[in-house]
């Protein structure tokens, strides 16, 4: 069964870089399409970006200037970096799998990790 697990610092200082890892089991990151999604407390969901192991990457234009996603097939992990964070980036961050590049719906999710931006 497919499982995803986010990990990374729970507290990041303003202007610094948020770095998260998603570890995947039960599936290979060399196949399928891997996404990051976030959710500020009590609010809705915001899609951050997607990637495929072939190198295809696509970011939400609202975050594109600050986001980098990458993948390590040898570790079966993928990663998120968000630069120059502010309090507005405080949220629960989820990694999620999609079966398709287009028509992407998310059938497996990590449990989420809370990242707080504060000095």
Partner 1 sequence: IQMTQSPSSLSASVGDRVTITCRATEPLITYLNWYQQKPGKAPKLLIYGASILQSGVPSRFSGSGSGTDFTLIINSLQPEDSATYFCQQSYSAPWTFGQGTKVEIK
In the complex with partner 1, the residue whose CB is nearer, 10 or 74, is 10
Among residues 46, 57, 81, 83, which is the contact residue for partner 1, using CB under 8 A?
A: 46
Does residue 25 bind partner 1 (CB under 8 A)? no
Sole window of 19-27, 66-74, 78-86, 102-110 interacting with partner 1 (rule: CB under 8 A):
102-110
Smaller CB distance to partner 1: residue 100 or 119?
A: 100
Residue placing its CB nearer to partner 1 in the complex, 13 or 99: 99
Q: Residues 79 to 98: which contact partner 1 by CB under 8 A?
A: 94, 96
Which span (11-19, 41-49, 73-81, 83-91) binds partner 1, by CB under 8 A?
41-49
Strand, coil or helix: 88: helix
Q: In three state form, how does the secondary structure of the chain look? A: CCEEEEECCCEECCCCCEEEEEEEECCCCCCCEEEEEEECCCCCCEEEEEECCCCCEEECCCCCCCEEEEEECCCCEEEEEECCCCHHHCEEEEEEEECCCCCCCEEEECCCEEEEECC
Which residues would be at the binding site for partner 1 (CB under 8 A)? 43-47, 50, 58, 60-62, 94, 96, 100, 102-107, 109-112
């Amino acid at each position: 069964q497919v499982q995803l697990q986010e990990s990374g610092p729970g507290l990041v200082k303003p202007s610094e870089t948020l770095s998260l890892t998603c570890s995947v089991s039960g599936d290979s990151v060399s196949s399928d399409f891997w996404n990051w999604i976030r959710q500020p407390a009590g609010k809705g969901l915001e899609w951050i970006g997607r990637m495929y192991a072939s190198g295809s990457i696509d970011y939400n234009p609202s975050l594109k200037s600050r986001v980098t996603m990458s993948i390590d097939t040898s570790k079966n992990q993928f990663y998120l970096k968000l630069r120059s964070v502010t309090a507005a980036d405080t949220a629960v961050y989820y990694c999620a799998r999609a079966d398709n590049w287009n028509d992407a719906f998310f059938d497996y999710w990590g449990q989420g990790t809370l990242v707080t931006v504060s000095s």
